[in-house]
Amino acid sequence: MTTDTLTLARHQLLTPAGLGEDDLHRALSCLFGHAIDSGDLYFQQRRAESWSLEDQQVKTASHAIQQGVGVRAISGEKTGFAYSDELMMPALLEAATAARAIAQQGGEGRLQVWRASQRPALYEPLDPLDTLTAEAKVELLEKLDAEARQQDPRVTQVMVSLAAAQDTILIAGSDGTLAGDVRPLVRVNVSVIVEQNGRREQGGSGGGGRVGYGWFLDEERALGYAREAVRLALVNLEAVPAPAGTLPVVLGPGWPGILLHEAIGHGLEGDFNRKGTSAFTGRIGERVASPLCTVVDDGTLAHRRGSLNIDDEGTPTQCTTLIERGVLKGYLQDKLNARLMKTALTGNGRRESYAHLPLPRMTNTYMMPGEHDPAEVIASVERGLYAVNFGGGQVDITSGKFVFSASEAYLIENGRVTRPVKGATLIGNGPDVLTKVSMVGNDLKLDAGVGTCGKDGQSVPVGVGQPTLKVEALTVGGTQA
């Protein structure tokens, strides 16, 4: 329950600094007396660690603690922001004084009474760093190394990393928001290099979520990453140059949902649409995808990497429909943009840390399943590309052009998957790529929990997912013209 996490957050962040709710009130009051519409304080403590293995040994590891408070003041479309890494009253007041400088003196803003909201928790408020002993962490890394090496003699290098973080946050807003959250996050990554006749290829795999380290031991989950990394690298050893040109592309389920994140998701973030800089601006109610496509952003999936009990402004997360049967339904909002656009909050106000301003960001973005058997989707393609794994992507939200880079792909010839091809970047146009979706599989899958999204220099963990789907025409950036 949120009240529990609020109590935990208060205990972790405020008590050691000798701060009480009266002090939060005083700091927020300091913002007013100026023409400030609203303001908030964001307290955060992050404990993080990472362990890494190479040459079959765990040779390095690090531990980090970061804490501070960000103070934001908003006046119309203006935002003033300052932060301090000292959780002390004088530092808080100093930051508030700096943040309010955007507004003229003489405002009449008022503080609302604290209002704490409750909802069932999506993850335990645990400290993942303590969920395994140091010996067990080292042992897990060594086990993954051994598992990767025993897959195939062509494996020459194995690098494994294990990372965990616990974020404890507390948000106090002039609108009466008082909310806390304790967010665990763990991740394992396996990267291998294989070599055959002088040719080297890399393969990588991993996963994670808002759980303890024990999750990696369940069902040999982490061992699966090691096997998958080797499998991918070996596939790439056989890969021939990718085709160049526009052709039908079948995207596999799960992580290829990065398509939705780049092509659709960013363009629907509230800030770009308020400013009119997105290719999707003013298009609510219009058809932007084939009727087979329903796309949501859902921050409420239990234990997922992209999920949050509350966003970084204290708004409970939700499942927001972005596209329903091809029609554009909604944007992703934080408080500032929802207010200026006069729309409801969607729980998408996120920030990398107390030292960054909140922005509308995605959580877990995925497409609902359709009716086709994945095998039927592939069988329908005469000549095309079957892309099942991807690296990163990027979008120019104004022109709508987006890219995402395949790391495992195959040719489809006469309805059959044939040879693997080298990784290639795929490029398309966000507002029309989903209009070219002609088949949607019944195999919705979410990614393994590895996504990180960057915007304005801020990184946040996200998730994506989709069923197998067929895009009638996408440009594939191979070398075989």
Partner 1 sequence: METTQSIALLPAREHLENLVSDILAEAHAQGATASEAAVSFGSALSVTVRLGEVETLEHHRQRGLGVTVYFGQRRGSASTADWRATAIRDTVQSACAIARHTAADPCAGLADPDRLARDIPDLDLYHPWPLAAEDAIALARECEAAALALDPRIRNSEGGSIATHTGLVLYGNSHGFCGGYPTTHHSLSCSVIAQDNGEMQRNHWHTAARDRDELETPVAVGQKAGQRALRRLGSRRLSTRQVPVLFAPELARGLIGHFIGAIRGGALYRKASFLLDRLGTPVFPKFMTIYERPHWPKALGSAPFDNEGVATANRDVVADGILQGYVLDSYSARRLGMETTGNAGGTHNLIVEPGPLGHEELLRQLNTGLWVTELMGHGVHLVTGDYSRGASGFWVEKGQIQYPVHEITIAGNLNEMFRDIAAAGNDVDVRGGIRCGSLLVEKMTVAGE
Tokens describing residue 437: 């979706």
* CA pair distance 295, 280, nearest whole angstrom: 15
- Give Cα 183 to chain centroid, integer Å: 14
| Residues in region 339-358 near partner 1 by CB under 8 A | 355, 357
- Of positions 143, 149, 200, 303, contacts partner 1 by CB under 8 A: 200
User: Least distance to partner 1 from the beta carbon of 307, Å?
Assistant: 25
- With contacts defined by CB under 8 A, how many residues of the chain interact with partner 1? 81
- Of positions 17, 89, 193, 327, contacts partner 1 by CB under 8 A: 193
Which residue type sits at 159? M
Nearer to partner 1, 308 or 453 (CB): 453
Nearer to partner 1, 123 or 354 (CB): 354
Which listed range, 171-179, 222-230, 269-277, 360-368, lies at the site for partner 1 (CB under 8 A)?
269-277
Helices (H), ranges, 66-156: 89-99, 134-151
* CA pair distance 350, 183, nearest whole angstrom: 13
| Residues in region 142-171 near partner 1 by CB under 8 A | 156-157, 159
| Residues in region 429-448 near partner 1 by CB under 8 A | 429
- Of positions 5, 320, 425, 466, contacts partner 1 by CB under 8 A: 425
Nearer to partner 1, 211 or 357 (CB): 357
201 binds partner 1 (CB under 8 A): yes
The residue among 49, 47, 42, 89 whose CA lies nearest residue 68 is 42
Nearer to partner 1, 323 or 357 (CB): 357
* CA pair distance 75, 271, nearest whole angstrom: 16
- Of positions 3, 15, 118, 246, contacts partner 1 by CB under 8 A: 246
| Residues in region 393-422 near partner 1 by CB under 8 A | 393-396, 398-399, 401-405, 422
Per-residue binding string, partner 1, 53-92, x by CB under 8 A, is: -x--xxxxxxxxxxxx-------xxxxxxxxxx-------
SS3 for 163?
strand
Nearer to partner 1, 129 or 381 (CB): 129
- Of positions 22, 108, 135, 218, contacts partner 1 by CB under 8 A: 135
Q: What share of the chain is helix, strand, coil (3-state, %, to 5)?
A: 25, 40, 30
The 3-state secondary structure of 119-138, one letter per residue: CCCCCCCCCHHHCCCHHHHH
* CA pair distance 75, 97, nearest whole angstrom: 14
User: Least distance to partner 1 from the beta carbon of 210, Å?
Assistant: 23
380 binds partner 1 (CB under 8 A): no
272: left (phi over 0), alpha (psi -120 to 50) or beta: alpha
472 binds partner 1 (CB under 8 A): no
Nearer to partner 1, 412 or 426 (CB): 426
User: Least distance to partner 1 from the beta carbon of 340, Å?
Assistant: 11
* CA pair distance 365, 369, nearest whole angstrom: 13
Contact partners, residue 108, CB within 8 Å, separation at least 6: none
* CA pair distance 293, 207, nearest whole angstrom: 27
User: Least distance to partner 1 from the beta carbon of 46, Å?
Assistant: 10
Per-residue binding string, partner 1, 86-125, x by CB under 8 A, is: ---------x--xxxxxxxx--------------------
140 binds partner 1 (CB under 8 A): no
| Residues in region 272-311 near partner 1 by CB under 8 A | 275-277, 279
Q: Which segments of 325-431 are extended strands (E)?
A: 327-328, 349-350, 359-360, 364-367, 383-395, 401-413, 416-421, 425-429
479 binds partner 1 (CB under 8 A): yes
| Residues in region 204-243 near partner 1 by CB under 8 A | 242
CB of 85 within 8 A of CB of 199?
no
Containing H/E element for 341? helix 335-341
User: Least distance to partner 1 from the beta carbon of 319, Å?
Assistant: 29
